[in-house]
Structures are given as structure tokens and as C-alpha cells.
Chain A
Amino acid sequence: GAVVSQHPSRVICKSGTSVKIECRSLDFQATTMFWYRQFPKQSLMLMATSNEGSKATYEQGVEKDKFLINHASLTLSTLTVTSAHPEDSSFYICSASGTLVRGGVSDTQYFGPGTRLTVL
């Protein structure tokens, strides 16, 4: 239990375009989803926390108009990087937590495999 998937795993785009990354919980209902950004050889930086059906809570310094987060259902959250620029290139990782995780631990974050974004 507690599998989280992300799509795409890798994306290369031109500067100025928008990119959408999907995060899905495959076998549990994710009441809360988290989006992180990870720079090379560094730890994870929490960007925002989203609860199903409500607006995301962004961490200080993260532009909410730049990184649009939608958590429309208990199994899907999306992160859209709008008008991407080379400095947005990074590894983006989502995680999900929920109750009644079969074979897992409730309220613990389970991570997706990450999406490598490269903006040319």
C-alpha cells in the first residue's frame, strides 16, 4: 500500500511555456499532498501543502502565481509551473498522506518518484 506516482518523470521545455506535473496516490485517499523542490545535492524544500478541495498553503518565498497547485480529488494533485524559466529547472517531488493507508502508516508522507524539469 501507499504508492504515489508522478507524471511525467522527465520534461524538457522551452522558456516561457507552462508545464503541468501530476501526482497521484494509487491505493489510498490522500487528504493532504505536498510539493517539494530539490536542487542537486541538496535536501528537499517544501513549496506548498494542499488539502483536497481547498487552496494550497504556500511556504514563504514561493510564488503562488508561478507555481499553481490544484488538489481536486483525493487521489490527484497537479503542480503547474507557469511561464517556466531556466532557473525553474529542478527536481520536483510530491508526497501524499492520508488516513487508513493499507499496509502503511496513517498521516505519514509517501513520496512520488519525482519529476526532472529542464527549462531551456
Chain B
Amino acid sequence: GEDVEQSLFLSVREGDSSVINCTYTDSSSTYLYWYKQEPGAGLQLLTYIFSNMDMKQDQRLTVLLNKKDKHLSLRIADTQTGDSAIYFCAERDSSASKIIFGSGTRLSIRP
């Protein structure tokens, strides 16, 4: 079945860029998403990319998609303390409306 994988932890210095990586298995995914979850809260849709795009930029966020390698990344420029959260990569099941989530990457910021 479909699978989405991410590393569990990432620590970056405040002001540096954060890059969170994700791999997926479903080659027919239509949408790929990045969600942010702060402690005790639900998920906030940060950004998404269509599967026919290579890159999408939205303010401090840059999403890169390598469809050949089934690799998705999220780059956060000028990382701030407010960016501390768990970031979930997700892909939309091509046959239905289900979303398959990765395990989440916990981003921590050090001064």
C-alpha cells in the first residue's frame, strides 16, 4: 500500500534554514501536502503542491518535488522560534480522497 516516510527529528539554529524531507511510494499521487501541528492543536495546512509541479514558493516556505525519486521537501527560510512544531508530509491517495500521512518531523529551534 501507500507509504510516506519522514525523519522524526530536526534541530536548527534560529535564523538558519530548515529542510524537512519526505519520501512517498504512490507514483500516482495527485497532491502532496505539508501540515504543521503545534502542541495540543490540530493540523494546519501550510502548503501543497500539485504532482505536475517541481517547485512552489510561498513567502518563507519552498516546496521541492522530485517526482522521479518520489521525494518531497519543505524548506523554511529564516527559521524562527514560532516554527517549532511537528511537520507532517502527506499525499493524496490517487483513487480516493484519503490522505496518507507521514510520521511527522519534530522541528526544534535552538538559539
Mark A residues whose CB is within 8 Å of B.
2, 4, 6, 32, 34, 42-44, 46, 49, 93, 95, 97, 105, 107-114, 116
Contact = CB atoms under 8 A, between A and B. Distances in A.
B59 interface: no
Contact of A93 (B33, B42, B102, B104): B42
Question: Main SS of chain A's interface residues?
Answer: strand
Interface residues of B, number: 18
Contacts of A46: 98-99
A43 B104 contact: yes
A105 B48 contact: yes
B88 interface: yes
Contact of B44 (A44, A97, A111): A111
A111 B35 contact: yes
Contact of B101 (A4, A43, A107, A108): A43
6 contacts: A43-B102, A107-B97, A108-B31, A111-B43, A114-B42, A116-B40
